[in-house]
């Protein structure tokens, strides 16, 4: 793996993160959405933007499969140490103490209903609905109850916390289908013979594409998560900063990602949405917004990135292998134009990521910062630049330890 070096922080005058935070808490910060900032740079240049703008709000809204929530549902009388648990028929992981359970977004209803999964239960809870909780247990001297069937809601639960191992991917691939049959994938319905192409990234609005070397977004960053406040808690799974980058440092393939946490009780159904991908299953649509402090000219330059300068690869999902051939590199400007050229054919494109909602989030976050309702934080630890991405092979015990 090629190790990437962080760049930046060398050009022009700089403002410290704490100066920006102080200005924000005093209500004196100049805050712009990513859309406004790019326009400002186009008209006024990077130098002026770095001098005059303090914070830029970036955002994304899309299907984020590696999401989930944990709950403490409270103790029953007599008490139970739940071994197996279901929320509205969707299995939740109960191997955590007695009444802590974790519900994964892509877990499916046990009645073999692929239209209903953990993501839909999470949305129902956020919308204030009661969901049926069933649990079974072995029964112990300290937890004698062996079965319970009841209802819970966000009002009855002690903690209800969204905890996603991988959200806000820094770039993602585009998908198409060369085969003669329709493919149903997590990238949507892919029509035969290059009938369409889909992509799943907010492009120039996306948080990590505006901070490609993770100079300001890190562990401890407060973020907008599903309508409420959340935090970046770790690098996201499959964090892979070593992929090829453009001359401006923007990854050309899926790269970094964020593990995030936030109180489900603060969230809203507008930004937490159960999604169904036919014959794939459930996924959770989540809205995430991240403020980026413009600490220097390099940061201003990074946040001025536009869709014509962000590249991803178009892959053929007819190849059902880990490594699919890349048909071509394509910019988000081309993808968002509605059609691209693939092997001599004009192919219509569809986003999976809602730019409409991402823009809404960037606006809301800006307003919250200006009103003093959202406190900007400085990361307590930076995200790594040296993580290889390892595959899963069938190995011997000895090989696995090498």
Select the span of 55-63, 98-106, 294-302, 321-329 touching another protein (CB under 8 A): 55-63
Site string for another protein, 341-380 (x = CB under 8 A): -------xxxxxxxxxx-x---------------------
CA distance 188 to 278: 8
Whole-number Cα distances in Å, 184 to 98, 110, 169, 281? 39, 21, 22, 10
Task: Tell me how crowded residue 158 is: count the other CB atoms within 10 A of its CB.
Answer: 11
Catalytic residue among 65, 142, 303, 326: 142
Among 195, 220, 252, 377, binds another protein (CB under 8 A): 195
Among 170, 171, 196, 206, binds another protein (CB under 8 A): 196
Contact partners, residue 112, CB within 8 Å, separation at least 6: none
Annotation marks residue 142 as catalytic: yes
Considering all CA atoms of the chain, what is the largest pairwise distance in Å, rounded to the nearest integer? Answer: 72
Residue 188 binding another protein, by CB under 8 A:
yes
Residue 283 binding another protein, by CB under 8 A:
yes
Select the span of 22-30, 79-87, 275-283, 380-388 touching another protein (CB under 8 A): 275-283
CA distance 177 to 158: 46
Select the span of 134-142, 194-202, 292-300, 367-375 touching another protein (CB under 8 A): 194-202
Select the span of 1-9, 95-103, 195-203, 300-308 touching another protein (CB under 8 A): 195-203
Least spacing, CB of residue 349 vs another protein, in Å: 6
Q: How far is CA 301 from the centre of its chain?
A: 23
Of the pair 195, 220, the CB lying nearest another protein is at 195
CA distance 188 to 51: 43
Residue 118 binding another protein, by CB under 8 A:
no
Residue 38 binding another protein, by CB under 8 A:
no
CA distance 210 to 248: 11
Task: Tell me how crowded residue 156 is: count the other CB atoms within 10 A of its CB.
Answer: 14
Among 63, 217, 264, 305, binds another protein (CB under 8 A): 63
CA distance 311 to 170: 11
| Closest of 373, 162, 374 to residue 286, by C-alpha | 162
Binding residues (CB under 8 A) for another protein: these are 61-63, 115, 188-189, 191, 195-198, 273-278, 283, 285, 338, 348-357, 359
């Amino acid at each position: 793996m090629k190790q990437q070096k962080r760049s930046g922080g060398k050009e022009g005058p700089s403002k410290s993160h704490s100066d920006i935070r102080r200005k924000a808490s005093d209500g004196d910060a100049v805050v712009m959405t990513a859309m406004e900032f790019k326009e400002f740079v186009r008209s006024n240049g990077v130098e002026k933007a770095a001098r005059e703008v303090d914070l830029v709000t970036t955002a994304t809204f899309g299907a984020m499969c590696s999401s989930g929530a944990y709950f403490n549902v409270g103790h029953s009388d007599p008490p139970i140490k739940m071994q197996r648990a279901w929320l509205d028929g969707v299995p939740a992981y109960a191997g955590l103490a007695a009444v802590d359970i974790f519900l994964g977004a892509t877990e499916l209803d046990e009645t073999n209903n692929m239209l209903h999964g953990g993501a839909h239960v999470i949305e129902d809870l956020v919308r204030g609905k009661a969901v049926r909780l069933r649990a079974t247990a072995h029964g112990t001297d300290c937890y004698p109850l062996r079965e319970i069937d009841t209802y819970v809601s966000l009002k009855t639960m002690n903690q209800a916390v969204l905890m996603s191992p991988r959200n806000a991917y820094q770039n993602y691939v585009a998908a198409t289908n060369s085969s003669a049959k329709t493919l149903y994938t997590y990238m949507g319905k892919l029509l035969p013979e290059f009938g369409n192409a889909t992509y799943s990234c907010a492009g120039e609005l996306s948080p990590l594409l505006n901070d490609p070397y993770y100079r300001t977004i890190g562990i401890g960053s407060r973020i907008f998560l599903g309508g409420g406040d959340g935090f970046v808690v770790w690098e996201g799974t499959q964090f892979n900063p070593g992929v090829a980058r453009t001359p401006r440092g923007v990854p050309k393939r899926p790269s970094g990602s964020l593990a995030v946490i936030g109180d489900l009780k603060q969230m809203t159904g507008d930004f937490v949405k159960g999604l169904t991908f036919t014959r794939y299953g459930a996924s959770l649509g989540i809205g995430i917004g991240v403020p980026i402090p413009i600490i220097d000219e390099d940061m201003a330059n990074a946040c001025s990135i536009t869709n014509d300068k962000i590249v991803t690869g178009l892959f053929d999902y007819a190849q059902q292998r880990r490594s699919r051939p890349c048909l071509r590199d394509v910019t988000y400007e081309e993808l968002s134009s509605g059609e691209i050229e693939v092997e001599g054919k004009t192919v219509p494109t569809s986003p999976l990521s809602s730019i409409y909602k991402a823009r809404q989030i960037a606006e809301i976050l800006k307003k919250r910062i200006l009103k003093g309702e959202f406190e900007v934080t400085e990361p307590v630890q930076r995200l790594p630049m040296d993580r290889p991405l390892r595959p899963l092979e069938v190995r011997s015990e000895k090989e696995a330890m090498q």
